[in-house]
Amino acid sequence: MGKKFEAMLPEHEEFIRKQRLFFVGTAPLSGEGHVNLSPKGYDSLRILGPNRAAYLDLTGSGNETSAHVRENGRITLMFCAFEGPPNILRLYGRGTVILPGTAEWDDLVPLFPSVPGARQIIEVDIHLVTTACGYAVPFMDYAGERDTLQRWAVQKGDEGLVQYRKEKNARSIDGLPTPLGLAD
């Protein structure tokens, strides 16, 4: 059944690269705050080494992951097999928010496709990898990527996205500041 690893093995990396969807889990330190779970699609994840991964985070209605990572660093990425043999793989680590205009951004952003609405990169230093059976995860057919978010970002334009992020992405739903909110 479940197994633990100190780093990603080549077969873990191969499994991750095949997934078209992954989930990001974070939580504030306060027991009163809300746990966040976000689905991520597109070609947005890069494996940077056996203990390091990053994903390109796009503008959305909230920015919980960024606020939680800024506050305490804890982050989990989860991948599920919806096709082929059953499997669930989790990457546990400490995250860092990387904003545009930084040397880290300049180093990492060329690894990703250019996507309208890119707002930050979340880098994860992984300290634990786990696998689980995934026997109850249903089979699902991939029908394609939605282009709704990209069309929305293009329609907003650069200035509109800056304003939107100031209004919607500067604080978490629990009021925690995000790096984007602190950058203003």
Domains of the chain: 3-136+145-174 (2.30.110.10)
Residue 95 to residues 127, 145, 179: CA-CA distances in angstroms? 11, 26, 13
Of the candidates 27, 25, 3, the residue with the CA atom closest to the CA atom of residue 15: 3
pLDDT 10s digits, 91-137 = 999 999 999 999 999 999 999 999 999 999 999 999 999 999 999 99
Name the burial class of residue 142, with classes exposed (0-12), middle (13-18) and buried (19+) by CB atoms within 10 angstroms of its CB: exposed
pLDDT 10s digits, 26-61 = 999 988 899 999 999 999 999 999 999 999 999 999
Which positions ≥6 away from 156 have C-beta within 8 Å?
117, 164
Are 117 and 149 within 8 A, CB to CB?
A: yes
Q: How many CA atoms lie within 13 A of 129 on its CB side?
A: 22
Tell me, yes or no, if the pTM score tops 0.85.
yes
Are 76 and 25 within 8 A, CB to CB?
A: yes
Which positions ≥6 away from 70 have C-beta within 8 Å?
97, 176, 177, 178, 179, 182
